[in-house]
Chain A
Amino acid sequence: MIQVQQVVRDYHTGETVVHALKGVSIDIADGEFTSIAGPSGSGKTTLLNLIGCIDSLDSGEILIGDQQVSTMDKKSKTEFRRNNLGFIFQTYNLIPVLSAYENVSFVLSILGVPEQEIKERTMRMLKEVGLEGMEHRRPGRLSGGQQQRIAIARALVKNPKIVLADEPTANLDSKTGEEILQLMQKMNEKYGTTFIFSTHDVMVMDYAKRLVELHDGQIISDERRQ
């Protein structure tokens, strides 16, 4: 369970203060497939960053499970992210000098998983995302959709509680974007991982089982779908 309570986040640029989140509260249950939607500047990336423990809030609190993540120090946040969170980025953010296999397996390496287990889990995850046989290819030799599949495999290979995806289909054509969403949906159903993804694309919103809309740093709607 993720509990976001009265979260405020302001950004200061010179004399200007941007109120990115103005007292946002939301609870997300385990295994939910939630989309945070809204126009640019509505605060969806900020909300994802705060839940993902890569940004600090000004007031309010965030609990993930029974852990108060908003008050954690830098080291504890790093450790929390390493053990519990997976990330999928709009621009994939793969390491170009590593193969598909290595891009996925390195998250297990930093967790200290034994070599043999790394191999088994990585190969299984690459197969799950449809990249079997491409494990030795470097990102530069793969399409955008295939690269995002590596990113999904990388996010899921460590069995995280939560996967946060910031506009995961924004750099893909609609057909590939849909394939990626179907894959994410499949993984959500298969592993029960909580997925939270931001978007302003209507097609993407249609895939969400819960749609939270943000506008000017405030939640304007929260809709659960079948």
Chain B
Amino acid sequence: MKFIISLAFRNLTRYRRRTMITAFAIAIGLMMFIMVDSVLIGVESESMRNLRWYETSAIRIMHEDYWEDRLMKPLDVAVENPYDIVHQLHQSGYDAAPRITFAADMILYSDEFGEDGNMPVQVTAIDPLLDNTVFRFAETLIEGRFVEPGAMELVIGSWFAEDIGAEVGNWVTFVTRGNGGFYEAMDMQIVGIVNCPNPNVNRTLLMVPFDIVDEFLAMEGTATEINIGLSEQEDISEAKLHIEQLLGNTGQSLKIASWDELAQDYVALAEAKRGGTSMILFLVFIIAAVGISNTMLMAIFERIRELGMMRALGMDDRTIQLTFMIEAGGIGLIGSIVGVILGVLVNIYMVEVGIDLGFLMRDMDMGYRIQSLMRGAWSVKTLVTAFIFGTVLSMLVAYIPTRRALKMDIPSCLRHQ
């Protein structure tokens, strides 16, 4: 065995340039894999955080019937006595805040926006005192201030503000139907602009005070949702189960949904993108397989006579096969080591600096909840997978050309030029 390994590794130096080119091809493939996987993990984890911090919260409580029709934003199937539930949750150690979301037409006026116009929007009524214990909008305020209870005030996402040319101090009117179907109009002044890292929110965010909406839309103290914040370390399914038990005696049929149920579109997308990683892995597989197979094919056919000599001297086919497979494994090993080193170096940049894709994200919805900077994340599993994959695959693809060569009879091998 010692001899076989020694022979295999010495043969690597025999065709040094070819070995290095093939190993380099494997290294580049593995580096790409590590980089793409790192970015996907990084983007997924940041998206998840931005979803929970700015869009869905960790867990949301709704009326059972609201969940069914949630896209229609009905106001008549709301959670009753939301503050009692919030209080109960607070007592059990959960940060919670009620919200009312409703669909409206937003009317813009020519004296402030250049021309008159209206557009369909979704408005979120928040409790300014509680909302920032669950969500993180207070940290994203770039202009003005946050809405205050009892005031006809509005906070808008920065991209939305840019799109409509809104500035702090401008007035808009929301026309909507209240609880019961009556028409209502609310004049609101923009008091703050937030630059939210979640692009979906930043494009559409309109936040108004909860008590104003409660009064204008006759919600009678109900809320369409209660959002609960959890730290990233907390087990969501465990917390969900606990909250279900906790609220079992409210006398309301409530739907308690975790963030991934609420963001099904994103979860499906993330899964599809993970499929993309497998495609990259497959491409790496093709590059490595073709490269090594070709290298080994040439190496073997240049050494047919030597192979014949080994067989004539009594070396069995399995040992010869193993020698060539170890040799190919050596190429894979060099490629994997270099690939992992390059991958780590590139990943340091990806984790520390990242790639700014703000120019793309501004006008394009990629589904990810990141605004501009794509950062990588460290994954030991990816590095180990890449390393093992590069080495083992190299050994496997050497099997076929060696098998072919070993099918030749020994005199033909010895005559081979």
Contacts and interface: CB of A to CB of B under 8 A. Distances in A.
B3 interface: yes
Contacts of B311: 54, 78
B180 interface: no
Given A91-B305, A110-B319, A96 B313 contact: no
Nearest to B319: A110
A168 B413 CA distance: 18
Interface stretch (B6-14, B41-49, B66-74, B266-274): B6-14
Contacts of B112: none
B319 A97 contact: no
Contacts of B7: 95, 97-98, 106
A107 B409 contact: no
B314 interface: yes
A81 B313 contact: yes
B306 interface: yes
Contacts of B315: 78, 82, 110
A98 B10 contact: yes
A154 B312 CA distance: 12
Contact of B312 (A54, A91, A106): A54
Interface in B374-417: 409-411, 414
Q: Is the interface of B mostly helix, strand, loop or mixed?
A: helix
Contacts of B3: 106, 109-110
Contacts, number: 63
Nearest to A109: B3
Contacts of B20: none
Contacts of B2: 109
Given A95-B7, A97-B7, A87 B411 contact: no
Interface string A88-115: 0101010111100010001101110000
Interface in A15-63: 45, 49, 52, 54-55
B316 A87 contact: no
B247 interface: no
A79 interface: yes
A99 to B, nearest CB: 10
B312 A81 contact: yes
Contacts of B312: 52, 54, 81, 87
A78 B414 contact: no
Given A96-B14, A97-B11, A89 B309 contact: yes
A97 B323 CA distance: 14
A154 B314 CA distance: 12
A75 B410 contact: no
B313 A87 contact: yes
Nearest to B410: A54
A83 B314 contact: yes
Q: How large is the interface on B (under 10, 10 to 19, 20 to 34, 35 or more residues)?
A: 20 to 34
B313 A55 contact: no
A45 B414 CA distance: 11
A78 B10 contact: no
A75 B316 contact: yes
B305 A97 contact: no
B306 A93 contact: yes
Interface in A137-185: 154
A78 B306 contact: no
Nearest to A155: B313
Nearest to A110: B315
A52 B411 CA distance: 10
Interface string A68-89: 0000000100110111010101
A49 B11 contact: no
B14 A97 contact: yes
A54 B315 CA distance: 12
Contacts of A110: 3, 313-315, 319
B414 A55 contact: no
Nearest to A105: B3
B199 to A, nearest CB: 58
B319 A89 contact: no
Contacts of A82: 313-315
B3 to A, nearest CB: 4
Interface in B1-49: 2-3, 6-7, 10-11, 13-14
Contacts of A45: 411
B79 to A, nearest CB: 78
Contacts of B414: 54, 89, 93
A95 B315 CA distance: 14
Residue among B2, B409, B410 having the largest count of chain A Cβ atoms under 10 Å: B410
Given A87-B309, A106-B3, A97 B10 contact: yes
A62 to B, nearest CB: 15
Nearest to A138: B10
A93 B10 CA distance: 17
Interface in B213-240: none
Contacts of B305: 91, 93
Contacts of B316: 75, 78
Given A54-B409, A93-B306, A97-B14, 18 more contacts: A49-B411, A52-B312, A54-B311, A54-B312, A78-B315, A78-B317, A83-B314, A93-B305, A93-B308, A95-B7, A96-B14, A98-B10, A102-B6, A106-B7, A110-B3, A110-B314, A111-B314, A154-B313
Interface of A: 45, 49, 52, 54-55, 75, 78-79, 81-83, 85, 87, 89, 91, 93, 95-98, 102, 106-107, 109-111, 154
6 contacts: A87-B312, A93-B414, A96-B14, A110-B315, A110-B319, A154-B313
